[in-house]
Structure 1
Amino acid sequence: MSFQVREVGTVEGDGSFIVSVFDAVIPFLESIGSNEQWGTTLFSHRDGFTEETLQQVRQSEQLSLTDKKNDENDGLRIFIVERELTDDPLDETSSPTPLRVHVAADGRRLLSVGFAFVREDWVPRYIASQPHLCVERTDTIYLEVIITDSRVDSSLRHGAGAALLREIQKYGHARQKRVIYLDGWAGNQKKLVRYYEQQGFQAIDDFSLPRADKAPWLGTLMRMNI
C-alpha cells in the first residue's frame, strides 16, 4: 500500500471530510493526554467553524485554478493524503463514523487519511505578535495545520503525516520557496515537537499565548529549509 497526495476539491465532499477529521482529533488528543492543545469542544460545535472551513476549501480550489494570491486567501492551499487499498476490503463498520473511500478513475480504491493547510509568504498574527520570534515572510511556506484521521486504523494511517510533509516540501521547491515554518503545541512533554524534529524540522524558540480562565497555550516555532 502507498500514499498519494492531491489538492482539495478534486473529489466531492472534501470539505465535509476535513471538518469531520477536525472533530475526530478532539477525543484522540484527550486519549493521549493532549486535551489542552485544542480543548474538548468539537470544532463543528464552535461558532462559525464549519462555514469558515468550507470557505477556505473554496478559496484553495480557486487558487489552484488561478494561482492568484490575494489578501483574502493568503496563498492558501489544502492538500489531502490518501492511502491506496489493495487487498482485503476495508471494514468501514469498525468505525463509529463511516470512513471515506472513493474509487479513482483508474479503478484504485483510495482511503482519505489526513490533510494539511499551507500558506505562502504568510505568518499568523499570534506568531507575528511575539517580538522574540524571528520569522521570514518572503519566499516561505507556513504549515498552518496538519491532521491525520484518528478514526482510521493506525496500520493504515502510519506515515501519512510524513507523506504530507514530503509533498509540501516538493510544493515549496516548485514554488521556489526557501523555508517551511510551523508551530506546534509544546505541552505533554513536547511530544508533538519531537515528532516534527524527527521529520527534519528545527526548533527556533518557544512562546506562550494567554487564554481566558486557562493556563497559557504553550508552543514552539519550528523551521525546515527546502
Structure 2
Amino acid sequence: MKIAIRKGGAQDLPAVLSVLDSAVVWLNGKGITAQWGTEPFSARPKAVEQVERTMSEGDPWIAEIDGVPAGTMTLTPHPGQHIAPADEPEVYVRLLATDARFHGHGVGAALLAHAAEETRRQEISLLRVDCFAGSEGRLIAYYERQGFTRTEKFTVNEWQGQVLERRV
C-alpha cells in the first residue's frame, strides 16, 4: 500500500473527524477508554471546536491510501494549552491518528517522518509531540521507536500525559 501525504485545510475537517472517530472505536475495541474517551469526536461539539481550532492554528496533513484518508496530523508552531512552549522555535505534532482500517500499515510512521521533513524544511530543529501515558506506556514506546525521547510528564484532570521530543 502506497501512502500519499497531502496538505489539508479547513475543508478536510469531516475527513479528520472521521479518522479521529475511527481511532476512538479502535482504541475502545482494545479496552483503551481513558485516552480519548468512548464518544466519537464528531458527537462532541467542544471536541469538534477544538479540532477545528487546532487545524486553523497550523498545517493539517492527510495521509491517503488509494485516495482514502488513512491518517491525519496537524503541525503547529506551539503545543496545546496544557503544555508550556519550548524556549526555542518548535514544530508540534497534534491530532495524530490513523483510521482503524489502516492500522499496522505504517501510516503514523509516515506522518511522523513527514513531520520531521517539514520541521527541517522550516529550518527548525525541535519536533515535539505529547501523548497519553496510560495503557502501560504503549504510545510512549511507539514514539520512542519513531526517534523521540521523553521529556516532561503532565496531568490534566487525572489524564496522564507525556511530552516527547526529537531533534531533526
TM-score, with structure 2 as normaliser? 0.89
Matches within 5 A, 1:1-226: 1-9=1-9, 14-51=12-49, 53-54=51-52, 57=55, 59=56, 73=57, 76-84=58-66, 110-120=67-77, 122-128=78-84, 136-150=86-100, 152-154=101-103, 158-210=105-157, 216-226=158-168
Letter of the structure 2 residue corresponding to residue 144 of structure 1: R
Secondary structure, counterpart of 2:124 in structure 1: coil
Match of 1:96 in 2: none
Deviation at 1:14, TM superposition (A): 2.2
User: Where do 4+ consecutive residues of structure 1 move more than 2 Å?
Assistant: 47-57
After superposition, the CA RMSD in angstroms is 2.0
Deviation at 1:55, TM superposition (A): 5.9
Q: By percentage of residues, which structure has more helix?
A: 2
Give 1 or 2 for the bigger CA radius of gyration.
1
Deviation digits for residues 146-200 of structure 1 (CA, Å, limit 9, x no counterpart): 00101x254xx61011110111111110101111111110101000000000000
Contact conserved, 1:139 with 1:176, CA < 8 A, in 2? no
TM-score, with structure 1 as normaliser? 0.68
Contact conserved, 2:20 with 2:98, CA < 8 A, in 1? no
Letter of the structure 1 residue corresponding to residue 124 of structure 2: K
Secondary structure, counterpart of 2:138 in structure 1: helix
| Structure 1, gaps ≥5 residues long | 60-72, 85-109, 129-134, 211-215
- In structure 2, how many angstroms separate the alpha carbons of the residues matched to 1:196 and 1:37? 16
